[in-house]
Amino acid sequence: MDLLTEPVGLSHYLVVGAILFVCGVLCMAIKRNALGVLMGVELVLNGANLNFIAFSAPYLRADSQYATGLDGHLIAMFVIVLAAAEAAVALAIALNYYNNHATIDVDEGDELKG
| Displacement of CA 43 from its chain's centroid (Å) | 4
More confident call, 44 vs 31 = 44
Q: How far apart are CA 45 and CA 52, in angstroms?
A: 10
Whether 76 maps to a domain, the answer reads yes
For the ranges 28-32, 54-58, 68-72, 108-112, the lowest mean pLDDT is seen at 108-112
Whether 3 maps to a domain, the answer reads no
Residue 47 above 80 pLDDT?
yes
Whether 24 maps to a domain, the answer reads yes
Q: State mean pLDDT over 101-106.
A: 77
More confident call, 19 vs 9 = 19
Closest of 46, 37, 39, 38 to residue 19, by C-alpha: 46
Assign 18 a pLDDT band (cuts: 50, 70, 90): very high
92-98 — which CB contacts under 8 Å span 24+ positions? 94/34, 94/35, 94/38, 97/34
Whether 109 maps to a domain, the answer reads no
Whether 32 maps to a domain, the answer reads yes
Whether 25 maps to a domain, the answer reads yes
CATH of the domain at 41: 1.10.287.3510
pLDDT tens digits for range 52-82: 888 887 665 555 565 566 777 888 889 889 8
Whether 108 maps to a domain, the answer reads no
Closest of 58, 46, 60, 44 to residue 12, by C-alpha: 60
If one counts the domains in the chain, the total is 1
Range of the domain at 31: 10-101
- pLDDT score, position 55: 81
Whether 46 maps to a domain, the answer reads yes
Assign 27 a pLDDT band (cuts: 50, 70, 90): very high
Share of the chain above pLDDT 70, in %: 82
